[in-house]
Amino acid sequence: MSIAARTPVETEHKSPSPRTPDIGGRPPIRHRTGGGGGGGDNEPDGGRGPQERLYRYRPGMFFFLAADAMFFSALVASFFVLQSSTHIDPRTQQFVNTWHAVPLPRILWWNTLVLMLSSVSMELARRHMFREVDVMDEWLGLGKPAARRAFPWVTLTFLLGVAFLTGQWIAWRELQARHLIFASNQSSHFFYLLTGLHAVHVLMGMVGLLAALIGLYAAARLETRQILVDLSAWYWHAMGIFWIFFFVLLVWFQ
Amino acid sequence: MAYAQGCSQCRDNVNAASPKTQQGYRRAIGVMLVMGCGLFLAGLLVAKGYRKPSSSRQDISIN
């Protein structure tokens, strides 16, 4: 019985691909759906179930962050070129380098720690949004346990983001007190450029966190809430990685 | 003569620069190269992970 039932299925596997068109460009009869929404004919090809939208949004975020990473790496490349650029002193006829390393304010170390902690709290929030038991409860309409658990961690991340930006502001003020402003020399120019652009990106991330916080309560669909927290988390982690990259550059490669 | 016309000026500039500047160019090219290649590879991995399953829904109709 089972052998007899299996044989026709094997024959089906040897048949042409489902995408091979039949007469009139239509798919073969056995691959046509009956319409009316039954038989999965409303699902896109290769559907991934309830997280379909999430899996569509994530690559979008990846390519956005990849473009951002290339932008920052171009800045770092110009940092290396200008750092080592020289001109000939007409008096001595020798190469002279006018790059003066910026003395980094001590608070930058604390800022780095704060940003790392915020990354940890954001990851905890993201994991709470995908905790199977809570997700199932939300899906069944039994409250919003996942959102309720994630909310404090997203809030903490937001507050740590505020602390990081405040720390950066204090660092800039400290340098200004030492008369190191944007136009002082090439190294200070790069310091303000890198830290300033990174701060703008962190600010954008905080707008994303705010949207996630609002979405945790206001968004009707579980998947929308997951997407908001998940994408904010990936963005936030990327900002953390970028900052470590810049910090290492400023501390050890000036 | 026509070979590398566009680059000859850059090459002369870099050759005339001090060894330290040349080292800076090498570092800068390294940063761009590593980041570009890294992102390209990461993109390939992402694309591979998101590839449509070819046989997710097989027809098992029995005649």
pLDDT at A27: 54
A69 interfaces chain B, CB cutoff of 8 Å: yes
Chain B partners of A46 at a C-beta cutoff of 8 Å? 52-53, 56
Long-range contacts of A141-147 (CB under 8 A, 24+ apart): A144/A216, A144/A225, A146/A222, A146/A225, A147/A216, A147/A217, A147/A225
Q: Which of A84, A242, A248, A254 to mutate to test the interface with B (most CBs of B within 10 A)?
A: A84
B2 interfaces chain A, CB cutoff of 8 Å: no
| Share above pLDDT 90 across residues of chain A, in percent, rounded to a whole number | 47
Least confident span in A2-6, A149-153, A187-191, B54-58: A2-6
Count of CA atoms in the C-beta half-sphere (13 A) of A66: 17
Tell me the range of A32-36, B35-39, B49-53 where mean pLDDT is highest: B35-39
The residue type at A160: L
pTM of the full predicted structure? 0.76
Residue of B nearest to A59 (CA): B46
A35 interfaces chain B, CB cutoff of 8 Å: no
DSSP for residue A89 = E
The neighbour count for residue B32, using CB atoms within 10 Å, is 16
- Which tokens sit at A31? 């691959």
Please tell me which of the candidates A8, A46, A69 has its beta carbon nearest to residue B35: A69
- Determine the Cα–Cα distance for residues A174 and A193; give it in Å rounded to an integer: 16
CB A35 within 8 A of CB A41: yes
A10 interfaces chain B, CB cutoff of 8 Å: no
Chain A partners of B13 at a C-beta cutoff of 8 Å? none
- Determine the Cα–Cα distance for residues A117 and A123; give it in Å rounded to an integer: 10
pLDDT digits (tens, 9 = 90+) for A57-113: 988 999 999 999 999 999 999 998 888 887 788 888 787 777 888 888 999 999 999
B37 interfaces chain A, CB cutoff of 8 Å: no
Tell me the range of A35-39, A42-46, A200-204, B52-56 where mean pLDDT is highest: A200-204
Interface contact A62-B46, CB threshold 8 A: yes
pLDDT digits (tens, 9 = 90+) for A15-24: 444 445 545 5
